[in-house]
């Protein structure tokens, strides 16, 4: 990616950020209609972080998104249809119904979705960064972790490893103020989580995760360092989980004032406003984009709902590579 951003970049970012918001609204609707068999997560408030960070990646970079990062999937090239089919546990999703939501891999797009165990993808991303180094690919591996998940041992082990081996790893802590019901005050006792970078001897940044330009600027620099052989970067992105933990959770434990404060910083609304104010996009373009997205999502829903569930017997196929 080249920085600064071009007009085309802004338009593209606008499309993705709006797409995420609309996609997640549709997921919540499907959830309320009992069309989703398991849990449903959204990344409300995290759109700028997930879209902006993935925007910095090349085709052959490795992406390991977490459960608030549907935006990153889209930016890396995944189709709305496939992600929708994933959420609806259909045979046409990339995981063929074996797992849901963002839990799948697409090797062509180099997207490797998470498993539920928090932190578990950081070592794997570190390993792809190692593979990149051994193969002299210049690919970076980008992954994420929550404020809560950053307590897990895998976080530490991976950063020690990536730092001492100078691996092209970028880890973004999505500090969205809560881990399920638990506020960050009960999870760690440090002003900035990016200060953990000091202990690993790597660059660390705390950024406004609702500002897509800031996200891109800092992630892009991290990519450059990684590609130049300068090792990993730790970025703490400050956001707000503007919904409950998952669709079943009303988040009554979040003080109203806090939620209202953060509504002012809504990354989608603010980005749109800024683009229009600065005349980077027109009102026409907005309406066009919105209707394009609506169409895409409607088609995806139709595609997914019309897709079959996998055949039961197929459960037994493919445990091993033959």
Partner 1 sequence: MPIINYIDAISKGLWEEMERDKNVFIFGQDVGDYGGAFKVTKGFIKHFGAERVIDAIIAESAIIGAATGAAVAGMRPVVEMQFSDFVTNGFSQLVNNTASIHYRWNLSCPIVLRMPTGAGVRGGPFHSRNTEAWFFHQPGLKIVAPATAYDAKGLIKSAIRDDNPVLFLEHKRFYRNIKDEVPDEEYIVEIGKGDIKKIGSDISIITYGGTLHQSIEAAEKIEKENGVSVEVVDLRTLAPLDIDIIISSVKKTGKVLIVHEDNLTGGIGGEISALIIENAFQFLDAPIKRVAAFDIPTPYSPTLEDYFLPNTNKIYSALLNLSKL
Question: Which of the choices partner 1, Mg ion, ligand TPP, none does residue 68 contact, using the CB cut-off of 5 to 8 A by kind?
Answer: ligand TPP
Residue among 6, 32, 115, 199 that touches its own copies (CB under 8 A): 199
From the list 68, 73, 196, 241, the catalytic residue is 241
100-137 burial string, b = 16+ CB within 10 Å, else e? bbbbbebeebbbbbbeeebbebbbbbbbbbbebbeeeb
Query: For Mg ion, which residue has the nearest CB?
Result: 146
Nearer to ligand TPP, 21 or 68 (CB): 68
The CA distance from 174 to 66, in Å, is 10
Question: Which of the choices Mg ion, ligand TPP, its own copies, none does residue 195 contact, using the CB cut-off of 5 to 8 A by kind?
Answer: its own copies
Asked if 176 interacts with Mg ion (CB under 5 A), we say: yes
Instruction: Tell me if residue 253 is catalytic.
Output: yes
CB within 8 Å of 303: residues ≥ 6 apart: 81, 84, 85, 92
Cβ contact 1:55 at 8 Å: yes
Residue among 107, 134, 190, 319 that touches its own copies (CB under 8 A): 190
What residues make contact with ligand TPP under the rule CB under 6 A? 68, 116-118, 146-149, 152, 174, 176, 178-180, 241, 245
Reported as half-sphere exposure (CB side, CA atoms, 13 A), residue 211 has a value of 9
- What backbone phi and psi angles, to 5 degrees, belong to 171? -120, 125
Token pair in block for residue 144: 């994420």
Question: Residues 71-110: x/- map of binding to its own copies (CB under 8 A)?
Answer: ----------------------------------------
CB of 147 to ligand TPP, least distance (A): 4
Instruction: Tell me if residue 241 is catalytic.
Output: yes
**At how many degrees (to 10) do helices 80-87 and 7-32 cross?**
20
Nearer to its own copies, 190 or 317 (CB): 190
How many residues touch Mg ion under the rule CB under 5 A: the total is 4
Catalytic positions, written as ranges: 241, 245, 253
């Amino acid at each position: 990616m080249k920085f600064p951003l071009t007009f085309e970049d802004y338009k593209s970012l606008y499309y993705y950020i709006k797409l995420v918001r609309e996609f997640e609204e549709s997921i919540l609707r499907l959830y309320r209609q009992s069309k989703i068999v398991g849990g449903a997560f959204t990344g409300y408030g995290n759109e700028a972080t997930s879209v902006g960070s993935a925007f910095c990646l090349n085709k052959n970079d490795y992406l390991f998104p977490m459960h608030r990062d549907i935006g990153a999937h889209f930016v890396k090239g995944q189709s709305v249809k496939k992600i929708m089919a994933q959420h609806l546990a259909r045979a046409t999703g990339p995981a063929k119904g074996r797992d849901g939501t963002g839990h799948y891999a697409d090797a062509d797009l180099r997207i490797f979705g998470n498993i539920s165990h928090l932190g578990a993808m950081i070592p794997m991303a570190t390993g792809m960064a190692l593979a990149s180094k051994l193969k002299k690919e210049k690919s970076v591996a980008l992954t994420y972790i929550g404020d809560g998940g950053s307590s897990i041992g895998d976080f530490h082990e991976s950063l020690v490893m990536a730092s001492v081996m100078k691996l092209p790893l970028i880890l973004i802590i999505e500090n969205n103020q809560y881990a399920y019901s638990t506020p960050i005050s009960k999870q760690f006792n440090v002003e900035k989580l990016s200060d953990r970078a000091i202990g690993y001897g790597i660059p660390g940044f705390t950024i406004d995760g609702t500002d897509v330009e800031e996200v891109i600027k800092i992630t892009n620099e991290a990519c450059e360092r990684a590609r130049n052989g300068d090792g990993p970067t730790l970025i703490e992105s400050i956001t707000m989980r503007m919904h409950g933990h998952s669709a079943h959770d009303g988040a009554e434990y979040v003080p109203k004032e806090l939620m209202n404060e953060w509504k002012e910083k809504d990354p989608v609304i603010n980005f749109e406003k800024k683009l229009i104010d600065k005349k980077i996009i027109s009102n026409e373009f907005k309406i066009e984009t919105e209707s394009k997205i609506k169409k895409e999502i409607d088609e995806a829903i139709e595609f997914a709902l019309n897709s079959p569930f996998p055949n039961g017997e197929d459960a037994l196929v493919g445990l091993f590579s033959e």
